[in-house]
């Protein structure tokens, strides 16, 4: 199968230079960077909202902002961080940039659909944010939008929220269809599935989850909007509706959503560790199987979010067992990463530091996750700050750390320049300290009686909340070295050469930044993307 | 495998497990335990905390050791060992989490059953009522509508009630934005605070008027959502006199954080006195 390059598709219509990043470009590399920069903008927005939450919680009284504004802020914070920062960046940005290289193609399978998927995101994001200013009030019912609360809070904001999430979900589905088609159908002749870099497997698994579960979220949100606009009674108990059914349908998407945020990060780390440890990825085959096991198990664990809702005992038990078993394939992946590092020649650069930070944070979040899976344990800590601490260790300590590691690793590919290592290490140090200071104390707060989503709390919890707020402040400061680094390097950074890390994966076997058609000649056939140490082994044998 | 490696590995594992037990059993992160269910919960917590600490420490040590021992020396641009996998190791580290999970799962199931989590949920009061009806007149019982209970914790089989033989104290709980209202069918008392005696099993029959709320007492280690249109129950036996917070744990609107009240656990005599004082029959 031959693929037309973007240039062939649109002769003369593709702008060049910096303007193409603001155009309906069909080049997968441009689209990838569009996702990345757009996502980072929304990360700053979500971070400001988080700062507002931590400022409110610096004192036990609700004294920083009005109470309904606080609920709007926490709803927007969750929605922005999940749907506009983590999901688009870890899937859309790195997926679009890397997958065509990894399968040996010149672009994604459906370049036009790809551009459409990206250009749904900025309007959806602006719509969501604007609801705070235009509709009178943004949604106030949390990112979970449980009815009947979401039916009784101001309707306009909630409907705009639904519309925005529907657009973002649609964008995510378009992206997933494209990834599945590209990975399965656009592989260079001679390249077998089991020779693909691990990120391809992670994206294949993630995309399957997106395609299987996101339509359910779309369905339930459309029903919810009927309840709000047309006063139907699907989830309105006053009209005979059932509020728990909403929770089942919502979590059927939103638990897999955790894996939609985490599996691509697993894939990216699997690319970064071998390069900077100079060792093959340990246990490739088991890594592939464990990704697929996580995909399957991820679809049958949703009700562990509902252990205190109206669920019958047998259901609580089933979901405890299914959830606990996710620890097995996840554990396999972590042991394999440790084995990849063992016996390597590890460069402790920014990419490696963030990857190791990811391992530590995610293992911690995984262990608290196992405790939460146990029904009797969860009945005490459900909907408390213990849960807030847990999932931030997964999505921030896990995925966002990997996004930063990936930025340091692939920035030379994007721009041809190396990010400054001193600023990078400072960025890591501030992020790691700030993050742990912010979220570790929250576990204790939850165990001892602080529920989540509150603007006020018992004064005995003041000290630890202030520690947490100081941590948040350090996290905010930690973005400064990153921003300075990215801007200064882009203008005046150290030239990286084509392959600064001596990596073996195919995206490095071309110039940096790559030409529009990815490789000047034919796409290289890379059957051993992790073949580190083989030349030494051959020389020793000689 | 050389014998020295085996011995080192065994010693290191033992030290790790001991460290995990020391932290997990010794460090208390939980609030006061004030219900018959709380000590069982705390035992589960200590087991999970010990296992978690052991695993986390193990991974931190392996990661830290690798970063120091296998760091790249300056001027070395070579590769590490070309080692792509090891079947035995894969089997070992598939088995370790699987065994841990199996143990934790069975143990927490046992705890959950002791808490009363596996008791089939029905309206027990309605059931008792039906039994009485049965003896009185057989045909009328069929007509008694049985209210469906949608979720919660039933009366525990091993609760102290079995030995003390005290009858279950029913309390109707109504949650609304932004308060809990407690109603005592015996005595017809309505109160904004929950008052219960030490040692007597209590059954909260909960319903919500507007949105979803959740009833949580951290010192009891218990929580249950209060759901509009779907009655739920929560059974517990308080074991320690005192005043503890009742907290709404489900986002329910702007004043969610302020939706708090207290549960006052009395000695049985004090509880009777409270009943007498507040019963409309005596005050009238």
Q: What is the 3-state secondary structure of A345-411?
A: CECCCHHHHHHHHHHHHHHHHHHHHHHHHCHHHHHHHCCEHHHHHHHHHHHHHHHHHHHHHHHHHHH
Confidence (pLDDT) at A4: 47
Model pLDDT for residues A408-443, shown as the tens digit of each residue:
999 999 999 999 999 999 999 999 999 999 999 999
How many structural domains is chain B composed of? 2
For B113, the enclosing helix (H) or strand (E) is: helix B87-115
Q: Is residue A24 part of a domain?
A: no
Model pLDDT for residues A166-218, shown as the tens digit of each residue:
999 999 999 999 999 999 999 999 999 999 999 999 999 999 999 999 999 99
> Averaged over A372-392, what is the pLDDT?
94
What's the gap in Å between the CA of A498 and the closest CA on chain B? 17
> What are the E-state strand segments in A445-505?
494-495
Which residues from chain A sit within 8 angstroms of residue B116, using beta carbons? none
Question: Is A453 in Cβ contact with B93 (below 8 Å)?
Answer: no
d(CA A215, CA A125): 20
Question: Residue A501 has what DSSP assignment?
Answer: T
Which residues from chain A sit within 8 angstroms of residue B100, using beta carbons? 327
* A316 → closest Cβ in B86, B117, B216: B117
- Whether residues B169 and B247 fall in one domain: yes
- B123 and B206 Cβ atoms separated by less than 8 Å: no
Q: In angstroms, what CA-CA distances link A129 with A46, A89, A133, A218?
A: 10, 19, 8, 20
Residue of A nearest to B43 (CA): A377
Q: Is residue B173 part of a domain?
A: yes
- A103 and A200 Cβ atoms separated by less than 8 Å: yes
A493 or A229, greater pLDDT? A229
- Sign, CA dihedral B238-B244-B246-B250, equals negative
Tokens of A61: 């009284």
Q: Is residue A1 part of a domain?
A: no
Q: In angstroms, what CA-CA distances link A444 with A204, A381, A384, B245?
A: 38, 10, 10, 17
Confidence (pLDDT) at A373: 92
Question: Is B80 in Cβ contact with A344 (below 8 Å)?
Answer: yes
The pLDDT profile of chain B, 284 residues, written as one tens digit per residue, is: 678 888 988 898 899 999 999 998 888 999 999 999 899 999 999 999 999 999 999 999 999 999 999 998 888 888 888 888 889 989 988 998 899 999 998 898 888 888 877 776 654 444 444 444 444 444 444 444 456 777 778 776 545 544 556 788 999 999 999 999 999 998 889 999 999 999 999 999 999 999 999 999 999 999 999 999 889 999 999 999 999 999 999 999 999 999 999 999 999 999 999 998 888 765 54
Which residues from chain B sit within 8 angstroms of residue A455, using beta carbons? 256-257
Percent of chain A with pLDDT over 70: 95
What's the gap in Å between the CA of A119 and the closest CA on chain B? 33
Which residues from chain B sit within 8 angstroms of residue A343, using beta carbons? 70, 80-81, 83
Question: Is B70 in Cβ contact with A277 (below 8 Å)?
Answer: yes
d(CA B120, CA B233): 11
Domain ranges, residue A297: 31-534
3-state SS of A214-249 is: HHHHHHHHHHHHHHHHCCCCCCCHHHCCCHHHHHHH
- A351 and A272 Cβ atoms separated by less than 8 Å: yes
Q: What is the dihedral of CA A63, A64, A65, A70, to 10 degrees?
A: -90
Confidence (pLDDT) at B117: 77
Question: Is A533 in Cβ contact with B80 (below 8 Å)?
Answer: yes
d(CA A530, CA A275): 8
Question: Is A370 in Cβ contact with B52 (below 8 Å)?
Answer: yes
Tokens of B38: 């709380």
Model pLDDT for residues A285-305, shown as the tens digit of each residue:
999 999 999 999 999 999 999
Q: Is residue B140 part of a domain?
A: no
Which residues from chain A sit within 8 angstroms of residue B5, using beta carbons? none
- Whether residues B39 and B157 fall in one domain: no
Question: Is A310 in Cβ contact with B225 (below 8 Å)?
Answer: yes
What's the gap in Å between the CA of A117 and the closest CA on chain B? 33
Which residues from chain A sit within 8 angstroms of residue B96, using beta carbons? 331
Cβ pairs A/B, distance under 8 A: 292
Which residues from chain A sit within 8 angstroms of residue B31, using beta carbons? 447-449
What's the gap in Å between the CA of A421 and the closest CA on chain B? 16
Q: Place A540 in a pLDDT band, splitting at 50, 70 and 90.
A: low
d(CA B82, CA B102): 35
- DSSP-derived secondary structure for A3-63: ---HHHHSTTTS--GGGGGGS----HHHHHHHHHHHHHHHHHHHHHHHHHHHHHTTSSSS-
- DSSP-derived secondary structure for B73-101: PTT-----------HHHHHHHHHHHHHHH
Residue of B nearest to A347 (CA): B72
- Whether residues B111 and B10 fall in one domain: yes
SS3 at position B172: strand
SS3 at position B14: helix
3-state SS of B52-78 is: HHHHHHHHHHHHHHHHHHCECCCCCCC
Q: Place A492 in a pLDDT band, splitting at 50, 70 and 90.
A: confident
Q: Is residue A541 part of a domain?
A: no
- Whether residues B36 and B157 fall in one domain: no
Which CATH number characterizes residue A446's domain? 1.20.210.10
- Whether residues B189 and B258 fall in one domain: yes
Question: Is A241 in Cβ contact with B79 (below 8 Å)?
Answer: no
SS3 at position B242: strand
Q: Is residue A12 part of a domain?
A: no
Closest CA to A392 of A471, A325, A488, A301: A471
Which residues from chain A sit within 8 angstroms of residue B44, using beta carbons? 374, 376-377
* A334 → closest Cβ in B59, B71, B210: B59
* A311 → closest Cβ in B45, B70, B151: B151
Which residues from chain A sit within 8 angstroms of residue B221, using beta carbons? 379-380
- A443 and A365 Cβ atoms separated by less than 8 Å: no
Tokens of A481: 């070295």
Give the contacts of B110 (CB within 8 A, at least 6 positions apart).
none
Which residues lie across from B197 on neighbouring strands? B266
Q: Place A134 in a pLDDT band, splitting at 50, 70 and 90.
A: confident
Q: Is residue A3 part of a domain?
A: no
Closest CA to A15 of A3, A6, A5: A6
For the cut 90, the answer to whether the pLDDT of residue A541 exceeds it is no
Q: How far apart are the first and last CA of chain B?
A: 86
* B151 → closest Cβ in A146, A310, A382: A310
Residue of B nearest to A374 (CA): B108
Model pLDDT for residues A30-47, shown as the tens digit of each residue:
999 999 999 999 999 999
Which residues from chain A sit within 8 angstroms of residue B249, using beta carbons? 308, 382-384, 451-452
- Whether residues B256 and B168 fall in one domain: yes
Confidence (pLDDT) at B125: 46
What's the gap in Å between the CA of A279 and the closest CA on chain B? 5
Closest CA to B30 of A455, A53, A444, A176: A444
> Averaged over A51-58, what is the pLDDT?
96
How many structural domains is chain A composed of? 1
d(CA B34, CA B199): 11
Q: In angstroms, what CA-CA distances link A155 with A49, A72, A126, A226, A240?
A: 22, 13, 18, 11, 20
Q: Count other C-beta atoms under 10 Å from residue A154's C-beta.
A: 16
SS3 at position A301: coil
Domain ranges, residue B14: 3-66+88-115
Q: Is residue A26 part of a domain?
A: no
Which CATH number characterizes residue B158's domain? 2.60.40.420
A13 or A100, greater pLDDT? A100
Give the contacts of A316 (CB within 8 A, at least 6 positions apart).
A303, A307, A375, B112, B117
* B79 → closest Cβ in A317, A345, A384: A345
Give the contacts of B235 (CB within 8 A, at least 6 positions apart).
B116, B152, B153, B154, B155, B156, B159, B168, B201, B202, B203, B204
Biggest CA–CA distance in chain A, Å, is: 81
d(CA A408, CA A405): 5
Question: Is A343 in Cβ contact with B80 (below 8 Å)?
Answer: yes
Give the contacts of A326 (CB within 8 A, at least 6 positions apart).
A294, A297, A298, A301
Give the contacts of B63 (CB within 8 A, at least 6 positions apart).
A338, A341, A356, A359, A360
Q: Is residue A351 part of a domain?
A: yes
Question: Is A279 in Cβ contact with B225 (below 8 Å)?
Answer: no
């Amino acid at each position: 199968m031959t693929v037309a390059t973007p240039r062939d598709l649109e002769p003369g219509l593709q702008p060049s230079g910096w303007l193409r990043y603001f155009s309906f470009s069909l080049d997968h590399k441009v689209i990838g960077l569009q996702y990345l920069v757009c996502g980072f903008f929304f990360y700053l927005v979500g971070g400001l909202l988080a700062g507002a939450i931590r400022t409110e919680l610096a004192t036990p009284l609700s004294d920083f902002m009005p109470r309904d504004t606080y609920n709007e802020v926490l709803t927007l914070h969750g929605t922005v961080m999940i749907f506009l920062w983590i999901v688009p960046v870890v899937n859309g940005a790195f997926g679009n940039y890397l997958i065509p290289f990894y399968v040996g193609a010149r672009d994604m399978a459906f370049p036009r659909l790809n551009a459409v998927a990206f250009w749904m995101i900025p309007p959806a994001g602006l719509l969501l944010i604007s609801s705070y200013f235009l509709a009178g009030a943004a949604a106030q019912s949390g990112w979970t939008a449980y009815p009947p609360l979401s039916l009784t809070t101001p309707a306009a904001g909630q409907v705009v929220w639904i519309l925005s999430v529907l657009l973002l979900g649609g964008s995510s589905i378009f992206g997933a269809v494209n990834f599945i088609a590209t990975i399965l159908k656009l592989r260079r002749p001679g390249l077998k599935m089991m020779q693909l870099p691990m990120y391809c497997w992670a994206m294949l698994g993630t995309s399957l989850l997106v395609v299987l579960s996101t339509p359910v979220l779309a369905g339930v949100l459309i029903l919810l909007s009927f309840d709000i606009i047309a006063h139907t009674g699907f989830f309105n108990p006053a009209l005979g509706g059932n509020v728990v059914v909403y929770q089942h349908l919502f979590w059927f998407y939103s638990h897999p959503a955790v894996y939609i945020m985490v599996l691509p990060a697993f894939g990216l780390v699997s690319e970064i560790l071998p390069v900077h440890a100079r060792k093959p990825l340990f246990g490739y085959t088991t890594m592939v199987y464990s990704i697929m096991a996580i995909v399957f198990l991820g679809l049958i664990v949703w009700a562990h979010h509902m252990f205190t809702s109206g669920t019958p005992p047998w259901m609580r038990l089933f979901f405890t067992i299914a959830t606990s078993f996710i620890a097995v394939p996840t554990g396999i992946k972590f042991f394999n990463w440790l084995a990849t590092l063992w016996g390597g020649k590890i460069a402790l650069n920014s990419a490696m530091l963030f990857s190791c930070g990811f391992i530590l944070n995610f293992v911690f979040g995984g262990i608290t996750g196992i405790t939460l899976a146990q029904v009797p344990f969860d009945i005490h800590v459900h909907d408390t700050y213990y849960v807030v601490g847990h999932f931030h260790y997964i999505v921030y300590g896990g995925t966002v750390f990997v996004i930063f590691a990936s930025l340091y690793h692939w920035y030379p590919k994007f721009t041809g320049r190396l990010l400054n290592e001193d600023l990078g290490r400072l960025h890591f140090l501030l992020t790691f300290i700030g993050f742990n200071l912010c979220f570790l104390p929250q576990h204790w707060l939850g165990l001892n009686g602080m529920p989540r989503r509150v603007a006020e709390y018992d004064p005995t919890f003041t000290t630890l909340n202030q520690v947490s707020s100081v941590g948040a402040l350090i996290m905010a400061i930690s973005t400064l070295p990153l921003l300075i680094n990215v801007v200064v390097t882009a203008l005046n950074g150290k030239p990286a050469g084509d392959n600064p890390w001596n990596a073996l994966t195919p995206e490095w076997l071309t110039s940096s930044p790559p030409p529009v058609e990815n490789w000047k000649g034919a796409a290289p056939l890379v059957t051993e993307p992790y073949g580190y140490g083989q030349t030494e082994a051959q020389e020793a044998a000689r | 495998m050389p014998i020295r490696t085996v011995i080192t590995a065994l010693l290191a594992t033992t030290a790790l497990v001991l460290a995990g037990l020391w932290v997990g059993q010794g460090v208390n992160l939980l609030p006061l335990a004030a219900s018959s269910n709380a000590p069982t919960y705390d035992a589960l917590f200590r087991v999970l905390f010990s296992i978690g600490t052991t695993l986390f420490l193990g991974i931190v040590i392996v990661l830290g050791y690798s970063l120091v021992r296998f760091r790249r020396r300056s001027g070395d641009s070579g590769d590490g060992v070309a080692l792509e996998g090891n079947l035995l190791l894969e089997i070992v580290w598939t088995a370790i989490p699987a065994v841990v999970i199996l143990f934790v799962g069975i143990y927490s199931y046992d705890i959950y059953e002791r808490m009363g989590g596996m008791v089939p949920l029905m309206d027990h009061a309605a059931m008792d009522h039906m039994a009485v009806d049965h003896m009185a007149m057989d045909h009328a019982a069929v007509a008694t509508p049985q209210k469906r209970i949608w979720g919660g914790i039933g009366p525990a089989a091993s609760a102290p009630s079995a030995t003390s033989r005290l009858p279950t104290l029913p309390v109707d709980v109504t949650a609304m934005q932004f308060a809990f209202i407690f109603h005592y069918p015996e005595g017809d008392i309505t109160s904004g605070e929950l008052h219960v005696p030490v040692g007597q099993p209590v059954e909260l029959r909960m319903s919500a008027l507007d949105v979803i709320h959740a009833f949580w007492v951290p010192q009891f280690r218990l929580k249950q959502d209060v759901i509009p249109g779907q009655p739920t129950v929560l059974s517990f036996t308080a074991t320690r006199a005192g005043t503890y917070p009742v907290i709404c744990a489900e986002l329910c609107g702007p004043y969610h954080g302020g939706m708090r009240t207290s549960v006052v656990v009395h000695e049985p005599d004090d509880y009777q006195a409270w009943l007498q004082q507040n019963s409309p029959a005596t005050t009238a």
